[in-house]
Structure formats: structure tokens, C-alpha cells
Amino acid sequence: MTEKTIARGVITMVGIRSVAKTQLNRALEKAMGVRIYSVRAHGREDWHDIRMSGCRIESVFDVGANMGQSAQKFRGAFPKAKIYCFEPVRGLFQELKKSVAGDAHVQCFQIALGSARGLGKIYLTDHSTTSSLVEPEHARGWEEVQIDAVDSFCAAREIERTDLLKVDAEGFEVFKGADSLLSSSRVAFVLAEVGFHPRDTRHVLFDHARELLMARGFHVYGF
């Protein structure tokens, strides 16, 4: 790997109390000193692994919703789930609303999620998926955006929990703004894009995400 190569991937982490276990699984865990989440085929699609875990997904936070690709994927996997989409970039937000129009169980918000409420700049690039609150090397402009935190957003709307927190943004800031939910077992799964290179400033490093989430009762579920 060269210094300019950025390795990144998607990690799924699950709260330790969120997966139902059979008596056989518990016996095997005790005998072998391991924790079993699933004995089915694993590592194909994130939504597939989450669905096959046995955890009931009724609420999804899609942070960094872009044009609705993830929302449509989650709708297919979890037909009855309420999906909250967050996309701060003006043009992408308009496309997002079009893509989910007619789905009464999807709500769209033109805000970024971070560690606290406020205003910020989102830097635009030639590729819609790489716009960021962290200024990239080849930004072509910026937009001022509203920033909220998961905890304050939920408190204002009396949302008690979310079963799936998907983060395709500056994950560490989003995690800090969701500390109340994460620390009180009110999130079942965290699905986040992570980086593995220490110079990758746009993605939360895997080591940092793992350390933060494990301290709040989560374990790595898949890549």
C-alpha cells in the first residue's frame, strides 16, 4: 500500500443485547467461549446480514442519504420500517425527495448530523458521494448547511430509539452527537463507512470507531 492509497470499507456493529439467541447458541457460546450472532451465510450485503440476524428493524437513520440509494435498499429489506433520511447538499436533497416520493414512511431532512447543533460548510466535489464537512483536496465550492446531533434531533421529535444507524459521513462526529442513544442501548445496529489509513481525514478510522462503540456495548458484526 502506498502512502496515497486510502483503504476504506463498511463495518457493521451490533449492540450486544439486540440479537435473540437460541438455547443451542447459548450452549455453544458457553462451551466455546465465543459469541454467536448468526450461523447463516454472511458477508454478502449489509442489509442481508442485518435482516438475517433476527433483529427487528422498525426504524432507520440514513445519515448521508445522497439521492436515496440506501433508503430504497433499506425499504426493500425492511418493508415496514420508518426511514429518516439526512442529506445537507441542496441539489442532492431535491433528488432524494424525488426518489422516495410516495413512500409515507420516509421522512427527509436537509441537515447534516454531527456532534452538536450549529451552522457549517459542506464542500462540494465532482462526485456527489464525496461531498464533505471536511474540506477535500479537490473541492469545487461549498454550501452553508444546518447541523444537528442525533440526540437533540430525537429529543425534539420524541424518537426513543433507532434500530439501524447508517452513517456515510464524518462518522466520529455523528457518533459523538448520538452518545445518549448509543450508551443506553437505544441503537441496535451501526452501519458505517470507515477508513483504515491514518491519513484518511474524511472517514472515521476503524480503530477509533471500534473503540468508541465497544465502550458503549457494541461488537463488530461484519464487514
Asked if residue 3 is part of any domain, the answer here is no
The pLDDT assigned to 35 comes to: 63
Total residue length of the chain? 223
CA gap 213, 172 in Å, rounded: 10
Percentage of the chain with pLDDT > 70?
Answer: 78
Residue 32 lies in a domain: no
Across residues 175-189, what is the average pLDDT?
95
Q: Does the residue 188 lie in any domain?
A: yes
Answer whether residue 92 shows pLDDT above 70. yes
Give the whole-angstrom CA distance, residue 110 versus residue 145: 8
- Least confidently predicted of 34-38, 157-161, 195-199: 34-38
- Is 85 contained in some domain? yes
- Asked whether residue 1 is domain-assigned, the answer is no
What total number of domains does the chain contain? 1
Measured from the Cβ of residue 114, the count of other Cβ atoms closer than 10 Å reads 23
Q: Residue 61 falls within a domain, yes or no?
A: yes
pLDDT at residue 39 in the model? 58
Q: Residue 109 burial by CB count (10 A; 0-12/13-18/19+): exposed, middle or buried? A: middle
Is position 133 within any domain?
yes
Residues 203-220: pLDDT tens digits? 788 899 999 999 999 988
Residue 34 domain-assigned (yes or no): no
pLDDT digits (tens, 9 = 90+) for 6-30: 445 566 766 654 444 567 767 767 7
pLDDT per residue over 149-176, tens digit each?
999 999 999 999 999 999 988 767 899 9
Cell 433499506 locates to 74
Better-scored residue on pLDDT, 139 or 36: 139
**How many C-beta neighbours within 10 Å does residue 187 have?**
26
* Segment 68-71 long-range contacts (CB within 8 Å, at least 24 positions apart): 68/95, 68/96, 68/98, 68/99, 68/100, 70/166, 70/168, 71/96, 71/99, 71/100, 71/106
Structural domain of 62: 9-26+41-222
Tell me the three cell numbers of residue 3: 502512502
* pLDDT number for residue 133: 73
CATH code of 212's domain: 3.40.50
CA dist 172 and 203 (Å) reads 8
Confidence of residue 38 (pLDDT cuts 50, 70, 90): low
With bands split at pLDDT 50, 70 and 90, how would you rate the model's confidence at 132?
Answer: confident
